[in-house]
Structure 1
Amino acid sequence: MAGKKKGGNTVEAVWRLAEPIAQSLGLSLWDVRFEKEGVQWFLRIFVDKPEGVDIDDCVEMSRAVNDPLDELDPIDCAYCMEVCSPGMGRELVRPAHFKAYLGSPVQVRAIRPLADGRREFTAVLKSYEDGVLTLLDGGNELALAQNTLSRVRLADDDFVGGFEEDE
């Protein structure tokens, strides 16, 4: 659910604004979400870096993006802005996310049940190409289009560190 103002998409507008700010702070922009929970709207800006982010990184990003965001004014309703880490169980959404975590175990939730009736399972991300994930599921290779999945997130509880986007 993305809000619109001045003819542009909120998430895209915030992404374009926040990405160079994040880079100037030594951070990678992981994701931007504009979501409604109950009656409250939330603008969530997720940042990361190779060694992982801490609260100071989030505070610095929040302060750096606040005034430019107010000036851009892409959101036509009251909202709460949060700057945070994508966390250990980070959702993989963009092509760079999938490519960065090839070989990693992922938790997958399909929109509709697979042929074997499962909607949720854990597998190893083997490849990602043109919106199609190839997964190793108990020795079987499974190719699923990203648009048939409601969520893909890292499943490795031993994950430590962050994300560095390839230039």
Structure 2
Amino acid sequence: MSNVVETVKQVVTPILKEHSFYLFDVEFVKENKSWYLRVYIDKPDGITIDDCVLVSDELSEKLDAMDPDPIPQAYFLEVSSPGAERPLRNEEELKQAVGSYIHVSLYKNLNGSKTFEGTLQSVDDDQLVMKNEKWGEPDTVTIPRDLVAKSRLAIQF
């Protein structure tokens, strides 16, 4: 199914560039008995429902016009934002998140905790530095990169 994902990326990229959006991810998955083609898009000031409809309509039209059909089985097309609590999957996304409120899960305890939430202050090859706000009293915590299991944007309450 990676051919489907690669084909969709090639087809959707010019559409996104035309509207100043960017591609976050594409997945083609089977859930129960149905196939889902999910395209996650974004732009600096956030994606709206109208943006998703626009991309969905244009992408659907282009995919339907292709011969041979790149996706021969029936599927549902979903175009959406990656969400307010999207994962930070790589170095570039971590660096873009500097100044943002994030959630970090660790492989093992650091200072008695396996999770931290706060504002990411800096990132380098060896560590993340964040203003930890999980327990209400802000302090700065330095997290070695080799302890980080997952990180994502978070909503601050």
For normalisation by structure 2, the TM-score amounts to: 0.71
Shift in Å at residue 49 of structure 1? 1.9
Query: How many Å separate the matches in 2 of 1:153 and 1:39?
Result: 30
Count of matched residue pairs: 148
**C-alpha distance after superposition, 1:16-55 (max 9, x if no partner):** 3222211112212222223343333322111122232211
1:41 matched to which residue of 2? 35
* C-alpha RMSD of the superposition: 3.1
1:165 matched to which residue of 2? none
Query: How many Å separate the matches in 2 of 1:157 and 1:12?
Result: 35
Share of identical aligned residues, percent?
34
Shift in Å at residue 116 of structure 1? 6.0
Structure 2 stretches lacking a partner, 5+ long: 133-138
Structure 1 stretches lacking a partner, 5+ long: 159-167
Is 1:124 paired with 2:123? no
Alignment of 1:58-73 (within 5 A): 58-70=52-64, 71=66, 73=69
Q: Report the CA distance shift for 1:13/1:152 in structure 2 as closer, same or farther (over 3 A).
A: farther
1:79 matched to which residue of 2? 75
Secondary structure of 2:145's counterpart equals: strand
Shift in Å at residue 102 of structure 1? 0.9
1:152 matched to which residue of 2? 151
Is 1:142 paired with 2:138? no
Q: Report the CA distance shift for 1:107/1:33 in structure 2 as closer, same or farther (over 3 A).
A: farther
Is 1:53 paired with 2:52? no
Shift in Å at residue 57 of structure 1? 0.8
8 A Cα contact 2:89 2:151, kept in partner? yes
* Letter paired with 1:93: R
Secondary structure of 1:42's counterpart equals: strand
Is 1:91 paired with 2:91? no
2:103 matched to which residue of 1? 107
Query: How many Å separate the matches in 1 of 2:91 and 2:69?
Result: 28
